[in-house]
């Protein structure tokens, strides 16, 4: 008997998607309010940013708003923002991956409890939590008091880029932990057992199996930390004092001063980086359709 | 054993990192001194003051109303959209999900600016409604992404079976689909509520001069110093949520406890 | 063929999860080139036994001896055996050839050697040309073959298979049973196979180990297990059967529901309560006057090769398989060949007691 043949015939057909309300095509109408909404409040607004960014006060086309990014002050703000956001993304990744692994391995608590403990701080206003870091980092703050008590040299972090990085890591760490954790819990325990069975030791199993399988979560996490870090103006305002200016601060200032065209032009530059991140995420996140984010 | 100890120590350090600022804020709410830099002794004064401070109370009121209303509307629109998107063919589905991802992945500052430009373009005065509409906009994606996984788990035939047994589509939806996806709907609502409560940037750009939420109120005070009443208020809000979660957790734990042999 | 050399020896293995004792003082040996099947209902401890041999669980007490060496504490990656997992556990981020090469690359084999092995293994499982496909693009049956290929290229002395056919449909499962037997003969290694499907066990095994609630109920060849179940649990679990509490009147005579049936068993003593097992196909339906007892047919089902009938006789339903048809309501005589009556001692401990099997 030709076994191959029977195999192909018996291959399970994967259903295209979950619920198919086949006879009730009316269901599609349910999306109409949302389609209208997303056109009006997601797409058109972005088109407007594009329009303002590419025109001047007389509504004629210009590239000068975008060109303003080469202005030394703006360029410096962009480069500093890039530097700080990359550093904080890397730190978040280094802190979050082991944490997600530990959370995944601890069978004691339920999933939702573990996740809650990470999200819970969001219920304290994030501006206030960032302000509280002033208390910790100040010259006579809690950190230095503790250091003095142990006769260690004191640190002068407040109003430096380091304080901003700390603020970014603090605020966005959960966004790195959760996507990685969500991917890790989905890895079949038997797949890990199979790697061990085939001779891989702990390190090899991690490098060849766990790490590659968790990559979609890592990519989600990187995007979720990098984009808000790159574009923040609040954290730099609170922890950076007035001397450190990030690209977010520049854009916010332009809008506060009413220079919408300039602000939009600089936003467009910023969006290039955001688009790159989005492209990355959609490349790795095809199967879960965004489910890795939360 | 060593590995286990290290794991626990690591979790402990991260939790300290995440919760230290919260502890500080709670301590500050009991600080008799108006300056956050020094400890002036224990007091409940700010808690009494809090309810007399009309500025803060009105900001709280606005914040809660916007969080609740935007979460509710986003939940209705988002659940309907999720059901429709789920029944779409692959290409339109991917397009819709792509659009849904935009407010989640885009920078808050760009979302805020873009929404402001729209309101200005149609000559709509920035105020309470513009903030509400903006919050609904960034909340819908959270609802859709919470409901979608539940829809995928649904047995595709239950809806048809209900109709086969004589239920109208609407009745079948309420009796068959909704109960199954309800956990997703609920978590979408609470996620939206939380996001709305915690938002600053988008509110900042779309609020106009007349309206303040707690976030924007706090931001205006960053330079001149935060009023201690704010610490008291956030402490109360945080503890409320904490107690609520502990209560829910306890109840669930009780439900899931193994039945012991008598 | 199977030899008499004991390859693996499980000594006093005890394992509990929390308060549940999964295995209690289990002793078992597995011979070289044996096809041994651990058979039992879910929760009987068969998978745990396999995972202890594979090194994925460590026993609370007892030893795993492999070729005379104690390997109880050895991690899975240092054991000379490989596992085929229930849901295949393929590495979905690797191609088929990367999956198969995984173990060989870790052992730092040469490229040429690995390529040869991949070709050989894919040929062995009838999936030539699938090298560059991804696991997700394969059907369940094909994925299962890859999982087997991935394990055998490492030339293990023992292949552990954890319900490998459980996720496949009936037809495919039957084809794969022949495939597995062929594979085992070609490879000449030991297979330890876990299943809850008694038919699978009877078809493929040299030896069947019937387990229930952490205890071994019976070890034997498929014929032994089927024809001479040691207790009511085994009889009930393996195939359909009539299990009837009876009295052993004397040697070679048993009283079943008030009627004396001649049998061939001796040594049970006089007037001793026993359980009698009679397979449905061993009951002969005859004219009422020719039967030892008489009864009435109460239901009739056509099953393809035979008819399945229920006959009420002496206050009990008898399950009968026969190629002759007796319509519902007809009166029939029941007669059983003495060789087809299997006498079993009543269970002594609670653990051996027959447990209702619900599927």
The residues near A264 (Cβ < 8 Å, ≥ 6 apart) are A49, A50, A51, A52, A53, A65, B113, B117
Locate all alpha helices (DSSP H) within A106-210, ordered by sequence: 111-119, 126-137, 142-149, 161-184, 189-197, 202-205
Q: CA angle at residue B161 from B155 to B162, to 5 degrees?
A: 105
Distance CA A122, CA A175 (A): 11
Distance CA A76, CA A99 (A): 34
- Number of A–B residue contacts, CB under 8 Å: 264
Q: How many CB atoms lie within 10 A of CB C241?
A: 22
Q: What is the CA radius of gyration of chain B?
A: 23
pLDDT score at C4: 82
CB contact under 8 A, C169 and A201: no
Q: Please state which of the ranges B39-53, B117-131, B237-251 shows the lowest mean pLDDT.
A: B237-251
Q: Which of B37, B102, B110 sits opposite A267 (nearest CB)?
A: B110
Q: Which of A6, A193, A199 sits opposite C172 (nearest CB)?
A: A6
Q: Which two tokens stand for residue B38?
A: 């020094």
Residues in A closer than 8 angstroms to B164, CB to CB, are none
Torsions phi, psi of C83, nearest 5? -120, 140
Q: How many CB atoms lie within 10 A of CB C310?
A: 17
Residues 90-109 of A with CB under 8 A from B: 95, 98-99, 102-103, 105-106
Q: How many CB atoms lie within 10 A of CB A144?
A: 20
Cα distances from A157 to residues A140, A240, C170, in angstroms, run 11, 9, 68
Q: Which two tokens stand for residue A81?
A: 């923002």
* Residue from C114, C116, C164, C160 nearest C141 by CA: C164
Asked if C86 has any chain A CB less than 8 Å from its own CB, the reply is yes
Residues in B closer than 8 angstroms to A35, CB to CB, are 96
Percent of all residues in chain C with a pLDDT value above 90, rounded to a whole number: 67
* Residue from B33, B111, B200, B239 nearest A130 by CA: B200
CA B174 remoteness from chain centre: 25
pLDDT score at A286: 54
Q: What is the DSSP string of C312-345?
A: EETTEEEEEEESS---TT-EEEEEE-GGG-EEEE
Q: What is the DSSP string of A4-59?
A: HHHHHHHPPPPPSSS---TT-GGGGGGGHHHHHHHIIIIIHHHHHHHHHHTB-TTS
What integer is the mean pLDDT of B11-32?
Answer: 93
Name the neighbours of C, counting chains with at least 3 Cβ pairs within 8 A: A
The residues near C265 (Cβ < 8 Å, ≥ 6 apart) are C248, C251, C252, C254, C341, C342, C343
Distance CA B83, CA B206 (A): 30
CA A178 remoteness from chain centre: 11
Q: Is C254 exposed, middle or buried (0-12, 13-18, 19+ CB in 10 A)?
A: buried
Distance CA B199, CA A225 (A): 16
* Residue from C143, C321, B29, C39 nearest A191 by CA: C143
Query: Would you say how long chain B is, in residues?
Result: 262
Residues 177-196 of A with CB under 8 A from B: none
Name the neighbours of A, counting chains with at least 3 Cβ pairs within 8 A: B, C
Q: CA angle at residue B119 from B118 to B124, to 5 degrees?
A: 150
Q: Which of B19, B137, B238 sits opposite A41 (nearest CB)?
A: B137
The residues near B163 (Cβ < 8 Å, ≥ 6 apart) are A23, A24, B169, B172
Q: Which chain A residue has the Cα nearest residue C149? A: A198
CB contact under 8 A, A41 and B98: no
Q: Which chain A residue has the Cα nearest residue C77? A: A199
Distance CA A251, CA A268 (A): 11
CA C88 remoteness from chain centre: 20
Distance CA C48, CA C52 (A): 6
Contact C126, A4 (CB under 8 A): yes
CB contact under 8 A, B113 and A37: no
Q: Which of C103, C140, C175 sits opposite A12 (nearest CB)?
A: C140
pLDDT score at B175: 84
Distance CA A209, CA B241 (A): 39
Q: What is the DSSP string of C7-64?
A: EEEEEEEEEEETTEEEEEEEEEEEETT-EEEEE-STTSSHHHHHHHHHTSS--SEEEE
Q: CA angle at residue B71 from B69 to B77, to 5 degrees?
A: 100
Q: How many CB atoms lie within 10 A of CB C178?
A: 13
Q: Which two tokens stand for residue C256?
A: 């079943």
Write out the H or E segment, with its range, that includes residue C217: strand C215-220
The model's pLDDT over B202-257, given as tens digits with 9 standing for 90+, comes to 999 999 888 999 999 999 988 788 889 999 999 999 999 899 888 877 776 655 44
Residue B260 pLDDT greater than 80, yes or no: no
pLDDT score at A2: 38
CB contact under 8 A, A102 and B7: yes
pTM exceeds 0.80 for this model: yes
| DSSP state letter for C221 | -
pLDDT score at A107: 63
Contact A264, B117 (CB under 8 A): yes
| DSSP state letter for A70 | G
- Number of A–C residue contacts, CB under 8 Å: 92
Write out the H or E segment, with its range, that includes residue C262: strand C259-262
Contact B109, A282 (CB under 8 A): no
Distance CA C140, CA A11 (A): 6
pLDDT score at A5: 35
Name the neighbours of B, counting chains with at least 3 Cβ pairs within 8 A: A
Asked if A227 has any chain B CB less than 8 Å from its own CB, the reply is yes
pLDDT score at C310: 93
Q: How many CA atoms lie within 13 A of A157 on its CB side?
A: 21
CB contact under 8 A, C76 and A12: no
Contact A233, A255 (CB under 8 A): no
Residues in A closer than 8 angstroms to B115, CB to CB, are 41, 45
Asked if C77 has any chain A CB less than 8 Å from its own CB, the reply is yes
* Residue from C235, C225, C231, C241 nearest C38 by CA: C225
Contact A65, A50 (CB under 8 A): no
What integer is the mean pLDDT of B108-136?
Answer: 95
Distance CA A89, CA C283 (A): 76
Partners of residue C343 on adjacent β-strands: C276
Higher pLDDT, residue B155 or B240: B240
Torsions phi, psi of C100, nearest 5? -70, -35
CB contact under 8 A, B84 and A27: yes
Q: Which residue matches tokens 């430009």?
A: B117
CB contact under 8 A, A124 and B87: no
What integer is the mean pLDDT of B41-52?
Answer: 91
What integer is the mean pLDDT of C221-228?
Answer: 91
CA B89 remoteness from chain centre: 31
Distance CA A205, CA A209 (A): 5
The model's pLDDT over C46-80, given as tens digits with 9 standing for 90+, comes to 999 999 999 999 999 999 999 999 999 999 999 99
- Which residue, among A15, A20, A21, A113, would best test binding to B if mutated, counting the most B CBs under 10 Å from its CB? A21
Partners of residue C332 on adjacent β-strands: C295
| DSSP state letter for B261 | P
CA distance A98 to chain C (A): 22
CA distance A4 to chain B (A): 31
Residue B35 pLDDT greater than 80, yes or no: no
Asked if C141 has any chain A CB less than 8 Å from its own CB, the reply is yes
Task: Classify strands C6-17 and C61-66 as parallel, antiparallel or unpaired.
Answer: antiparallel
pLDDT (tens place) for every residue of chain A, 294 residues total = 333 333 333 333 334 444 444 444 567 788 899 999 999 999 999 999 999 999 998 889 999 999 999 999 999 999 999 999 999 999 999 999 999 999 888 765 566 777 788 888 888 889 999 999 988 998 888 888 888 889 888 888 889 999 999 999 999 999 999 999 999 998 999 999 999 999 999 999 999 999 999 998 999 999 999 999 999 999 999 999 888 999 999 999 999 999 999 999 999 999 998 888 878 777 776 544 444 444
Q: Which two tokens stand for residue A283?
A: 């490349």
pLDDT score at A229: 96
Q: Which of C76, C139, C171 sits opposite A197 (nearest CB)?
A: C76
* Residue from C179, C170, C219 nearest C199 by CA: C170
- Which residue, among A12, A197, A286, would best test binding to C if mutated, counting the most C CBs under 10 Å from its CB? A197
CB contact under 8 A, A208 and C102: yes
Long-range contacts: B213-217, Cβ < 8 Å, 24+? Answer: B213/B59, B213/B62, B213/B63, B213/B66, B213/B131, B214/A125, B214/B56, B214/B59, B214/B60, B214/B63, B215/A125, B215/A126, B215/A127, B215/B63, B216/B59, B217/B55, B217/B56, B217/B59
């Amino acid at each position: 008997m030709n076994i191959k043949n029977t195999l192909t015939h018996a291959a399970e057909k994967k259903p295209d998607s979950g619920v198919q309300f086949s006879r009730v095509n009316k269901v599609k109408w349910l999306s109409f309010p949302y389609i209208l909404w997303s056109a009006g409040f997601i797409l058109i607004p972005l088109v407007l940013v594009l329009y303002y960014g590419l025109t001047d006060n007389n509504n004629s086309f210009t590239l000068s708003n975008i060109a303003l990014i080469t202005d030394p002050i703006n360029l410096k703000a962009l480069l500093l923002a890039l530097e700080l956001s990359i550093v904080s993304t890397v730190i978040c990744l280094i802190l979050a991956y082991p944490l997600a692994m530990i959370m995944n391995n601890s069978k004691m608590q339920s999933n939702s409890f573990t996740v809650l403990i990470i999200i819970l701080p969001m219920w304290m206003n994030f501006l206030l939590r960032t302000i509280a870091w002033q208390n910790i980092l100040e010259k006579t703050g809690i950190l230095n008091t503790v250091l003095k008590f142990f006769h260690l040299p004191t640190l002068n972090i407040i109003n430096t880029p380091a304080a901003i990085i700390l603020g970014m890591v603090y605020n966005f760490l959960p966004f790195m932990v959760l996507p990685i954790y969500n991917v890790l819990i989905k890895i079949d325990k038997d797949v890990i057992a199979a790697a061990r069975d085939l001779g891989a030791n702990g390190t090899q199993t991690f490098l060849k199996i766990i790490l590659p399988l968790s990559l979609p979560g890592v990519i989600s996490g990187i995007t979720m930390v990098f984009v808000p870090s790159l574009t923040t103006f609040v954290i730099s305002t609170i922890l950076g004092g007035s001397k450190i200016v990030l690209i977010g601060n520049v854009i916010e200032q332009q809008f506060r001063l009413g220079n919408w065209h300039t602000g939009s032009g600089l936003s467009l530059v910023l969006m290039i980086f955001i688009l790159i991140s989005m492209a990355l995420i959609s490349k790795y996140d095809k199967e879960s359709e965004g489910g890795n984010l939360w | 054993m060593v590995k286990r100890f290290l794991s626990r120590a690591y979790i402990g350090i991260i939790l300290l990192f995440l919760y230290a600022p919260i502890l500080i804020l709670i301590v500050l709410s009991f600080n008799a001194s108006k300056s956050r830099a020094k400890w002036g002794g224990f007091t409940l004064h700010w808690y009494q003051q809090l309810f007399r401070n009309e500025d803060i109370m009105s900001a709280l009121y606005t914040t809660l109303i916007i969080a609740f209303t935007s979460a509710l509307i986003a939940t209705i629109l988002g659940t309907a959209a999720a059901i429709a998107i789920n029944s779409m063919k692959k290409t339109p589905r991917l397009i819709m999900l792509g659009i849904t991802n935009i407010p989640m992945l885009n920078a808050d500052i760009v979302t805020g600016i873009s929404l402001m430009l729209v309101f200005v373009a149609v000559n709509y005065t920035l105020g309470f409604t513009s903030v509400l509409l903006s919050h609904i906009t960034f909340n819908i994606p959270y609802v859709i992404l919470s409901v979608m996984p539940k829809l995928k788990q649904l047995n595709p035939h239950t809806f048809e079976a209900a109709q086969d047994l004589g239920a109208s589509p609407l009745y079948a939806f309420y009796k068959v689909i909704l109960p199954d996806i309800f956990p997703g709907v609920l978590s979408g609502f609470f996620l939206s509520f939380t996001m709305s409560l915690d938002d600053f940037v988008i509110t900042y750009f779309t609020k106009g001069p007349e309206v303040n939420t707690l976030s924007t109120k706090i931001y205006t005070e960053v330079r001149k110093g935060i009023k201690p009443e704010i610490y008291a208020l956030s402490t109360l809000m945080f503890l409320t949520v904490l107690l609520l979660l502990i209560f829910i957790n306890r109840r669930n734990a009780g439900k899931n406890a193994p039945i012991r042999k008598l | 063929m199977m030899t008499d050399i004991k390859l693996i020896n499980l000594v006093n293995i005890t394992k509990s999860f929390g308060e549940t004792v999964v295995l209690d003082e289990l002793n078992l040996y597995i011979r070289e080139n044996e096809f041994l099947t651990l058979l039992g209902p879910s929760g009987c401890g068969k998978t745990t036994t396999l995972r202890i041999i594979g090194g994925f669980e460590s026993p609370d007490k007892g030893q795993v001896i492999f070729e005379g060496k104690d390997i109880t504490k050895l991690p899975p990656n240092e054991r000379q055996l490989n596992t085929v997992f229930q849901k295949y556990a393929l590495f979905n981020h690797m191609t088929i050839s990367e999956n198969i090469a995984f173990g060989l690359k870790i052992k730092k084999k040469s490229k040429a050697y690995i390529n040869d092995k991949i070709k050989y293994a894919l040929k062995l499982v009838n999936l030539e040309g699938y090298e560059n496909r991804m696991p997700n693009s394969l059907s369940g049956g094909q994925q299962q073959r890859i999982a087997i290929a991935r394990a055998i290229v490492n030339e293990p002395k023992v292949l552990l298979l954890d319900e490998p056919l459980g996720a496949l449909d009936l037809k495919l499962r039957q084809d794969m049973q022949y495939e597995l037997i062929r594979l085992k003969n070609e490879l000449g290694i030991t297979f330890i196979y876990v299943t809850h499907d008694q038919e699978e066990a009877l078809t493929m095994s040299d030896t069947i180990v019937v387990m229930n609630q952490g205890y071994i109920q019976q070890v034997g060849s498929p014929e032994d297990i089927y024809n001479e179940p040691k207790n009511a649990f085994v009889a009930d679990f393996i195939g359909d059967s009539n299990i009837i509490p009876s009295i052993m009147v004397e040697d070679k005579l048993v009283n079943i529901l008030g009627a004396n049936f001649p049998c061939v068993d001796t040594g049970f003593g006089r007037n001793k309560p026993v359980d009698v097992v009679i397979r449905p196909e061993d009951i002969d339906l005859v004219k009422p006057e020719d039967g030892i007892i008489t009864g009435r047919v109460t239901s009739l089902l056509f099953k393809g090769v035979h008819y399945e009938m229920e006959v009420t006789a002496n206050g009990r339903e008898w399950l009968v398989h026969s190629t002759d048809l007796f319509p519902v309501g007809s009166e029939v005589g029941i007669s059983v060949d003495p060789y087809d009556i299997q006498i079993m001692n009543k269970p002594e401990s609670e653990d051996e007691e027959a447990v209702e099997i619900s599927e």
